[in-house]
Amino acid sequence: MKSIIALDRRHVWHPFTQEQTAPDPIEIVLAQGIHLHTADGREFLDLISSWWVNIHGHAHPTVAAAIAKQAQTLEQVIFAGFTHQPAVQLANELVKRLPQGLSRVFYSDNGSTAVEVALKMALQYWHNQGQSQRIRFLAFAGGYHGDTVGAMSAGKGCGFFDTYGSLTFEVGLLPFPATWDNDAEVEAKEQAALAKLEQYLTLHGDTLVGVIVEPLIQGSAGMRMCRPEFLQALAKRLRAAGILLIFDEVMTGFGRTGALFASLKAQVTPDIICLSKGLTAGFLPLSVTVATEAIYNAFLGESFDRALVHGHSFTANPLGCAAALASLQVFEDEQTLHKLPQIEAWHRHYLAELASDPQVRHTRVMGTIAAFDVVTADEGYNSAVGPRLKAFFHERGLLLRPLGNVVYLLPPYCVTQAQLQQAYQTIAAALMQLGQA
């Protein structure tokens, strides 16, 4: 039999990859806790939670057992006209934990579809109330909301999608007041963003549907963080103007920011929230778009015209719902939320040690996420230091994947102090090598 790598190179097309120049992919045969084991006997520390989805560590037995059990009774059933206990119970458990007022759970399959649903819900919310002139959305520069067409439109501020511009609809962009440790300008940046919002409301307020934002942390843009105060001011202004606020918590949900949700940490309740990545503890693709009762009510009526015309083959897949319920159980069994301040403290400690390196700029930490910018001539997602650092980390058994010149850690919550220390030591060594080059 041909090796997996040879077969892979023959028939597989990988995401976000230039297949001609990318090195061979690494074959993983086993994952346990924070460790990934390769086919050729090496071990990686998964310090990015396998693209931000893993929560409790790989192969957590509680989640694995719940999926196996569910698979023996009900693996899948149509969700229009039918229902099942895992979906209903999960909706109830999520509503209990979300900010009060978010009470209607719509299921789909991944972060992008959760965003598509949110955009359609928001647009039709107005349409159903005779305000079909409301067709505009506002998003943030740097914002990323997924790779499907609507999500690309909302995410045009991230710069990945210029090729597909002709497919996307128009979205206005506000500056994102990204901040970091010891940032003296943060309030000025926030004021500038709010002033821009004010301008937009004056010009287009009566055709605006809503604003979509990654609350507290823009992930793909390079772990750019903002203050809760900014989100509070944004929400207050939108509420006064009667404009909908959509939180894309696909990445920030389930503990990443130190609280179960960024909306809880920021003490802001949006009208619609999108959750995915950590929802099933990284086991299965599943997402939810959760709306307020006011939004749900706007879809009620005698005719189908008023209904939300959206659904996927695997809507509310029972295996995914069982995994998500088990993950919430692990949060309780292991008191996971109580572990997160410890991870944050370790980040702060080790990042402070790095911060004296003149190549390190804009250190920032929130909850389980730490990041900094590497000072370099070509900054941004296509920066040449990204691939160089990635190769350096891979050779030393760290799964770290810089976003251009931004180095970040986003570990599963089972990470130990020794593992983080090892990671930061390797990052320091990488910086030393960069500095000598």
Ligand X SMILES: *Cc1c(COP(=O)(O)O)cnc(C)c1O
The residue count for binding ligand X (CB under 6 A) is 14
Where in 133-152 is the site for ligand X (CB under 6 A)? 144-146
Least distance in Å: CB of 349 to ligand X?
27
Which CB sits closer to ligand X, 410 or 415? 410
Which CB sits closer to ligand X, 219 or 360? 219
Of positions 231, 250, 319, 370, contacts ligand X by CB under 6 A: 250
Least distance in Å: CB of 144 to ligand X?
6
HEC per residue, the chain: CCCHHHHHHHHCCCCCCCCCCCCCCCCEEEEEECEEEECCCCEEEECCHHHHCCCCCECCHHHHHHHHHHHCCCCCCCCCCCCCHHHHHHHHHHHHHCCCCEEEEEEECCHHHHHHHHHHHHHHHHHCCCCCCCCEEEEECCCCCCCCHHHHHHCHHHCCCHHHHHHCCCEEEECCCCECCCCCCHHHHHHHHHHHHHHHHHHHHHHEEEEEECCCEECCCCCEECCHHHHHHHHHHHHHHCCEEEEECCCCCCCCCCCCCHHHHHCCCCCEEEECHHHHCCCCCCEEEEEEHHHHHCCCCCCHHHCCCCCCCCCCCHHHHHHHHHHHHHHHHCCHHHHHHHHHHHHHHHHHHHCCCCCEEEEEEECCEEEEEECCCCCCCCCCHHHHHHHHHHHCCEECCCECCEEEECCCCCCCHHHHHHHHHHHHHHHHHHHHC
Least distance in Å: CB of 287 to ligand X?
7
Which CB sits closer to ligand X, 46 or 127? 46
Binding mask 206-245 for ligand X (x = CB under 6 A): --------x----xx-------------------------
Where in 94-113 is the site for ligand X (CB under 6 A)? 110-112
Least distance in Å: CB of 237 to ligand X?
22
Least distance in Å: CB of 218 to ligand X?
8
Which CB sits closer to ligand X, 248 or 344? 248
Where in 266-285 is the site for ligand X (CB under 6 A)? 276
Of positions 45, 98, 251, 319, contacts ligand X by CB under 6 A: 251
Which CB sits closer to ligand X, 35 or 145? 145
Q: Does 157 bind ligand X (CB under 6 A)?
A: no
Q: Which residues are near ligand X by CB under 6 A? A: 110-112, 115, 144-146, 214, 219-220, 248, 250-251, 276
